[in-house]
Amino acid sequence: MSLYCTVAPGKVNLLLSVTRKREDGYHDLETIFYPIRTPTDSLSLTMLEHDGLELSCTDPSLSCDSKNLCWRAAELYAESAGITPRWHIHLEKNIPIAAGLGGGSSNAAAVLRLLQDACASLLSQEKLQEIALRLGADVTFFLSPRPSLARGVGEVLYPINDALGDLPLTIAAPCFPVSAAWAYQNLKRIAPASEERRVAMLQALRLGDWVACGNMLYNDLSPALYEKFPLLKMIRECMFSAGASGAEISGSGPTLFAVSKDNRTAAAVAAAVKSAFGDAVKVF
């Protein structure tokens, strides 16, 4: 039996500006996706000797049926390629669930990448992107995760190919989920972030100016989250007190991330959050 393996990274949104609510209920946005090194999930695909689709996961809270995005990704791939599934997919789950880090979307994209490898790239890149968009707005980004400016619902991507180095990040994930639907329903402002902020953020990434990058962090969804969950404000204040250049909620939350001037400061921020909040917050 052939075995294929891959890693599914999470992401943070360095900038997230909701530009308008669409007639279909979704929101157009402008965001900067940034893939993170940790936490990450791992996926493997085993070719079976009989027809069928199987899914297993290390997290017992996740369903291993058609409710899972990994399962739906495999079904859509098989349907589009005109083949019968003979696959067992295993997911080792490390990215917190419903945390604003894109874990589910990344897992779905990882399944599509694994199936392309296992099936000798049966589908075109255009078809793969079409499937990704059917699965979720940011699944397209995770097909080839790299720093990117995104528009539309998150599917129109402009890779930042000249981004310099790795951001000194600290990730702090409170141990409770937040529904993305709730975050958008409680959006307190719909006003595009200034062009100056976006240009400054892109410039900071290209220059490796992490202090400037931290200063430019922005998320339209965060005001409602800070109001609903005071703990998030406390974590953010702790990050700044420990030396972070910037700290903000990623996506629809509740995970916060801090950008520091260097890796040493990022480690100090991580230590401070662990000391202050203990097991209530997972720190990466």
* H helices present in the chain, as ranges: 69-81, 103-118, 125-135, 139-143, 180-185, 195-207, 210-215, 222-228, 230-241, 263-277
What would the two tokens of residue 93 be?
A: 């789950």
Whole-number Å distance between alpha carbons of 175 and 58: 18
Residue 47 CB contacts under 8 Å (≥ 6 apart), including other chains: 1, 2, 3, 86, 87, 118
Question: In whole angstroms, what is the distance from residue 1 CA to residue 233 CA?
Answer: 50
Strand partners, 44: 5, 90
83: enclosing H helix or E strand: none
Active site residues: 11, 138
* SS3 (DSSP) at 98: coil
CA dihedral 202, 207, 212, 217 (to 10 degrees): 30
Residue type present at position 153:
V
> What's the rounded Cα separation, in Å, for the pair 95 and 75?
23
Q: Name the pairing type of β-strands 148-151 and 156-159.
A: antiparallel
Residues with Cβ within 8 Å of 251's Cβ and at least 6 positions away in sequence, in order, are 11, 12, 13, 16, 100, 101, 102, 180, 183, 219, 221
Please name every residue paired with 89 in a beta bridge, in sequence order, or none if there are none.
Answer: 45, 55
